[in-house]
Amino acid sequence: MPSKVRIALDAMGGDDGAAVVIPGAAISLGRHRDTEFLLVGDQAKIEPELEKHPQLRAASKIVHTDVAVSMHDKPSQALRRGRRTSSMWLAIDAVKKGEADVAVSAGNTGALMAMSRFHLRTLPGIDRPAISAIWPTKRGQSVVLDLGATLGGDAHHLVSLAVMGAAMASVLFNKKRPTVGLLNIGAEEIKGHEEIREASEILRARNLPELDYIGFVEGDGIGKGLADVIVTEGFSGNIALKTAEGTARQMAELLRNELQRSWLSKLGYLFARNAFQALRDKMDPNKSNGGVFLGLKGVVVKSHGGINAEGFAYAIDVGYDMVKFDLLNKINQMLNREGGALSSVQPAPEDVS
């Protein structure tokens, strides 16, 4: 384990840039004193925020650039315009050069993935990286991937996601053999696309020692926490994520409206406010912030763009854990040990989009 965890922050990413990134870093530093920060962005905007946090200043170095990737830039545009000069690129470059152990950004997701993949490259045996994140469930939390890094995927891709997701779950949940399920339209073995059924057959046949494959999981099984890791390709995963986020907001709005309808409703809230607070804490998106780009030769974490400082601190915390508990090495070990599982099917063609 490294004595210091060095974290490069894209201080110009997200809706509010340094105004959220800097106080978020200060919050995370309070939880992890063995952290050093590389703050990449416009020094004129970073300095005023940094003045408010003396301990963070002592643990930080600023890398100045006034070039930022827009939230509206296409990945190809960001690669052309932002290479070597943008705050996003320079944060990733610090990981590439060994100057940082992890990069964290709240910027444009597509641009961050394109730059990370182009600059860091993928691990041996991995065709395409994935976005993995923590999903609050009835039983606690699950790792869900892919949440939209790439669309589609064959059996080889799904098996590699299972291996990487299990490695992440073992780090975060301290489990030697996390349970893994494949997201499908039904639990029966005959259901689903051919690539999903084929991936299921491989996982059952291999009986991998560092993950416990439990079979197919339907959409409602994610929230039930039926598995420590839920695997799907990026198209379905992103729809599932956006649907869950939208449903949570809808339920919160409906509940708020109902509680304001009458004095009896307001009185009932007073009696049940502890329960409502516990529910808010459980569903707080800030506490589930931080998507890890798995499959790269380096650790990159994506934060939501509109998150607050506390939420950004959670994304930093995820990056800290990934480094402190040696996620990359764990994934490499699992991929090497289970190479037969990944080579038992033909890999997907290289995605050059």
Position 100 scores a pLDDT of 97
Cα 217 off chain centre by: 21
Give the three-state DSSP class for 140.
strand
The domain that holds 200 is classified in CATH as 3.40.718.10
* Confidence category of residue 281, pLDDT binned at 50, 70, 90: low
**Measured distance CA(272)–CA(329) in Å, rounded:** 47
Total number of domains in the chain: 2
pTM recorded for the entire structure: 0.84
Check whether residue 112 and residue 141 sit in a common domain. Answer: no
Check whether residue 280 and residue 300 sit in a common domain. Answer: no
Check whether residue 136 and residue 14 sit in a common domain. Answer: no
Position 346 scores a pLDDT of 46
In a domain, 349, yes or no: no
In this predicted structure, the answer to whether residue 268 has a pLDDT above a threshold of 80 is no
Check whether residue 110 and residue 11 sit in a common domain. Answer: yes
In a domain, 6, yes or no: yes
Q: What angle do CA 101, 290, 75 make, to 5 degrees?
A: 80
Q: What angle do CA 116, 228, 301 make, to 5 degrees?
A: 20
Extract the tokens encoding 188.
């029966």
Check whether residue 76 and residue 136 sit in a common domain. Answer: no
Check whether residue 140 and residue 284 sit in a common domain. Answer: yes
Q: In which domain, by residue range, is 154 found?
A: 127-288
Check whether residue 177 and residue 283 sit in a common domain. Answer: yes
Give the three-state DSSP class for 229.
strand
**242-245, long-range: CB within 8 Å, 24+ apart, which pairs?**
244/135, 245/285
Check whether residue 67 and residue 140 sit in a common domain. Answer: no
pLDDT per residue over 218-263, tens digit each?
998 998 999 999 999 988 888 888 887 777 777 777 777 777 777 7
Check whether residue 251 and residue 308 sit in a common domain. Answer: no
Check whether residue 134 and residue 157 sit in a common domain. Answer: yes
In a domain, 157, yes or no: yes
